[in-house]
Structure 1
Amino acid sequence: MKYLKLNINTILIFAFIFFFLEGNSQQLETYLDEALFSNPEIQKFELQYKIASEKVNEVNNIPNTELGVGYFVSEPETRTGAQRFKVSAKQMLPWFGNITARENYVSSLADSKYEDIVIAKRKLIASVSQSYYNLYGNKAKQAILKDNIKLLKTYETLALTSVEVGKASAVDVLRLQMRQNEMEQLLKVLQQQFLSEQTNFNKLLNREKSNKIKVIDTLFLPNEAIELNEDRLEFHPELLKFDKLYASVEQSELLNQKESSPMIGFGLDYINVNKRPNMDFSDNGKDIIMPMVSVSIPIFNKKYKSQTKQNALQQQEISVQKQARLNSLQILLDKAVNDRNSARISYETQTKNLKQAKDAESILIKSYETGTIDFNDVLDIQELQLKFQMNQIEAIQSYYLQTTIINYLTAY
């Protein structure tokens, strides 16, 4: 049932993330599935959980049976004959409910380990998604640079024509060429950064670093803001783990109380007796069988009293740690929400600026038809247009990166 619950949680997280990707979500979903299956960090936590669960069988036991054999070197004489050797067996048993208390305690520790799997999977989904959006941003910027380089080449052709008819100078052509060089340099830097992020992405999926990544070409912001339920933060697995740790301390105290109870033991002694020679009477050479019952009482039990105090203090510590983590998660969520809102504002502003820059570009092109083009203005407008386009991509990228953080914190 726990693994079924984990799968449902994962599906809901996927659905929340993919809401923004509309029909192009399939590729990221495939990558996330592969990461959850192949990532060694996830496998590590799953193995730790299996080990913790297996410990239930380890504690489901009773103390070893004690067996003893003794031989009388000097055989003591009794009325019925000489004693030759002695065989004894003894079994101590814990008090009623002790084994169950142990099983419950170990199970509660395994439950807290299970939350590590949930947390690790959430973090992996967030890391893969963020890396994917970084790749998208890099690829989109490269496409913008390539378009702008082509545009500058067109302007360069116009400038060369203007030089031939005496309407522009060679300096204008050189300026356009230098601007192209700067863009080509930036394009090469982005290509190197893409390779670095590609390595990071592939290693999250536990693949070869050179594997090609298919990235969506275009991302758009949703028209309406997504409704956010901040109350879900209280059910975050990082906080649920504290609850389970608290419960494990409760089970530890119940076990401590059981272990402070007596232990009862049952045993049997068998003594072999030789017959007395030249005598005939009842019970001559009769062996001795002696059942025994013993009790182990922890009279000096300061250990258990100290453990009780330690458990109480540990519960207080867990409560304080949970509140501290809740505060930090609330801060993180609030920052992500505000940054996402800022990204939307930035995107809308850059969209307006970009439209105006394109309008200015159209005016310049028309000016060329009348022979009054100023290539300094061309470079200024082109630089502004590139800036707005880059800012627009960064705003989209930031929006989805912050959404990934919000999903990590609030998705069920």
Structure 2
Amino acid sequence: MLKEIKYILLMLLFGQIAYTQVVHESAVVDTKKSNWYMNNYKGPVKSSFWYYTFIIDPIPFAVSNSSNIQSYARHSIMLQNRTALGGGVYEEFDSKGRLTKSIAMDKDGSHFEKSELDNKTASIYMYNEMDVDKKNKIKLKKRQIYPVYDHNILVKPNYKRPYDRGYGSDTLNYRYDYILDKKGRIVKEINYGRSTLPFTESEYIYDDHDNVSILKIITKQKEPTPFHFLDTETGFCPDLHVAYEYDNKDRMTQVTYYGCKDTLAFEKYVYHPEKEYITERTRFIKSSMRGVEHVTPTMIFYHNENGDIIEKKFVRSYPNQYLGASSIALRESIFYKYEYDKYSNWIKCYIYMVGKPEDSEPTAIAQRDLEYYDS
């Protein structure tokens, strides 16, 4: 009996050691699976184009029945569901999985049916291969998990963005430099943005498990522009930093944004008890300077095994708080149901804004056309 107990304890110990072994993966941000880019793709994606195929008409939760309000309400529905559908309406990736093109909207801005794209809203990404090869040698202790907001501690490649907005063309150059310690860990990120002089300098502080615990952010400008983080922005306070928390499996459980002796925003994660994915994500933003879909300071996003949002919940700040968003009256939750392809990427999204999928009809339906390198 004693031998059996020892054997079980040994196996449990081995399992724990195997689980916490260092995962040597590239620390370069994965633009296909990133909360920052609002991307969640699997497989050899070449391009993606999403658009609405159905929106309820008239909209029953519009604040009035006037034609103008109905039009505004339709647009508001699209804004409220952008988090679930993705950042760019159209995106392209190279064969190495890097984002090379992102277009924000179609020609008429309605995103309804597959129509001509507005290339004036396009962002083009051109990478320096020598820079990428060098930065790919910087390794992560563990893999990137969507939708963890780890973008700021990941390595960003240098890139160029040519653009033409109709009043002259130009090319913007974005540059990020990194300083490593003897262990190969990042100790500083110097962000030049699109300037020849540094914009910010971030200092990495590690815990006893070699996880980044604090990221100190210092402006390098005399008249700095606001710093953006977690869908909000703030000026540069002397104590501006981000704190990261982890569980006993070294998985990130909370990201907290501090400044001016206050908590400005945070996002915390609940993992599935057995499988390696996030089931629940709570985001808090104190300031009113937040995205239009962030109706209340606190919101909860529930995710399925594929990483997609199945419920977006607005947490009321006080009882009976009116949940209004630009010409529409919202319920407490918006629900989503999906159809998937062989790579577990959604190709059709059913949006429910007046009830759960089992007891209501969809408010809107979106489709996503995906092209792959292997087909």
Higher helix share: 1
Which structure shows the higher strand fraction? 2
Tell me if TM exceeds 0.5.
no
Tell which has more relative contact order, 1 or 2 (C-alpha 8 A, sep 6+).
1
TM-score range relative to shorter protein: under 0.3
Q: TM-score, normalised by structure 2?
A: 0.22
* Larger Rg belongs to: 1
After TM superposition, the score normalised by the length of structure 1 is 0.21
